[in-house]
Structure 1
Amino acid sequence: MKTSRSTTRHPDHVDHHRAQHLSLETRQIITEDGVASVLVNDSESPLGWLARRKGRDGRSMISPHQFIAGEKLRADFTRGNMAPCMTANWAAPTGGRPRGAGSNPGEMTDIMMTSRQRVSQALDACGPEFSGVLMDVCCFLRGLEDVERERNWPARSAKVVLQLALDRLARHYGFASEVRGQASKVRTWLAEDAAFES
């Protein structure tokens, strides 16, 4: 799976002053309706930072398939309106129940429901060992140092755990990494004394 990247300095629909403080890029992504162009602010995403940063070997700290998997999880999280509300709802009448999409399960849209289901399925597929770090970094946009500090992990360990988690997430989504090396020629895993039943 490929994404095309092109730097965008000041797009028409983003304020000129705001755009100069952002790291905006246009990407082609695959959606349910086909290929769509989206404008992404890489500076807000820890995954964007990791994808741009090179390690000692000269390669990106996360691979393209890991980046795409993490961004897909974040997109579903955002579409599912799963982030906790941090502001007051001024549209709600005083003393009444809050209004707005997602405040009542009966008011959820189909897109929100399916997005939440996809997030749940993805996290279940990754297991409890990796789902927390995926939520922290991909969805809540926490930096790796913050994750290490909050979980009392050794320095620079969050990157390794995140890479493993993103690999499992990418496998769940069906994004394959590039395979290198020669195929092994294993003929059988049976013990020598095993017999086939007819």
Structure 2
Amino acid sequence: MKQQKQVLAEREIGSEGPRKGTGVHRRQRSVTVNLAESPASWLHARGHLDDRLFQAAELLRMDYEKAQLSPSLTMRWDPVRVREGQAPLNSTERQIAAKDRFHGAMEQAGKGLADILWRVVCAGEALPGVEKQFSWPARSGKLILKFALERVADFYRVPG
């Protein structure tokens, strides 16, 4: 198994949420989660995806997140950081560029394969659930995902 980077975060669980400033000391339940974990990283760590396909999945997921295509409930207040001495793209231009790359990669994958890419790589759904939703035979999703990731790797020019 390959070692993957971990980004650990402590998350409180329960329906009430955190209590602030009440003076009541209750025992809180929490869980540690790995924010860097995704279905693609899980498959890569177990040898089901090679390095090229995993890198393609991560590039697609990164563009999806940079383009801010996921549903949002509130306004974004992200600060804009600019390095001195360079003329970098502003946040809007970076978002548009990521969106163009994402849509180009999905178009390269093709209409039939874009669905599994979006569900597994971007939305983080597990392969068995995707296979059930599409009424595919068990364990066929892995093969179809590999076909889709091959096309995405070609789009991003990931070396083979």
Q: Any conservation in 1 of the 2:56–2:156 contact (CA below 8 Å)? A: yes
Q: How far apart are the structure 2 equivalents of 1:162 and 1:72?
A: 15
Distance 1:109 1:7, change over 3 A: closer
Structure 1 or 2: larger helix share? 2
User: How many residues in Structure 1 have an aligned counterpart in Structure 2?
Assistant: 130
TM-score (norm. length: structure 2): 0.70
Unpaired segments of 5 or more residues in structure 2?
13-30, 78-90
Q: How far apart are the structure 1 equivalents of 2:110 and 2:147?
A: 12
* 1:41 aligned residue: 36
Report the CA distance between 1:146 and its aligned residue. Answer: 1.0
State percent identity of aligned pairs: 27
- Per-residue CA deviations over 1:27-68 (Å, capped at 9, x if unaligned) read xxxxxxxxxxxxx622xx000100111xxxxxx100011001
TM-score (norm. length: structure 1): 0.57
3-state DSSP class of the match of 1:21?
strand
RMSD: 2.8
- Greater Cα radius of gyration, structure 1 or 2: 1
Report the CA distance between 1:129 and its aligned residue. Answer: 1.9
Q: How far apart are the structure 1 equivalents of 2:11 and 2:124?
A: 25
Distance 1:113 1:146, change over 3 A: same
Q: How far apart are the structure 1 equivalents of 2:76 and 2:7?
A: 34
Pick 1 or 2: higher relative contact order, CA cutoff 8 A, min separation 6: 2
Report the CA distance between 1:130 and its aligned residue. Answer: 1.1
* 2:130 aligned residue: 147
Tell whether 2:133 aligns with 1:121: no
Give the alignment partner of residue 54 of structure 2, picking from 39, 63, 67.
67
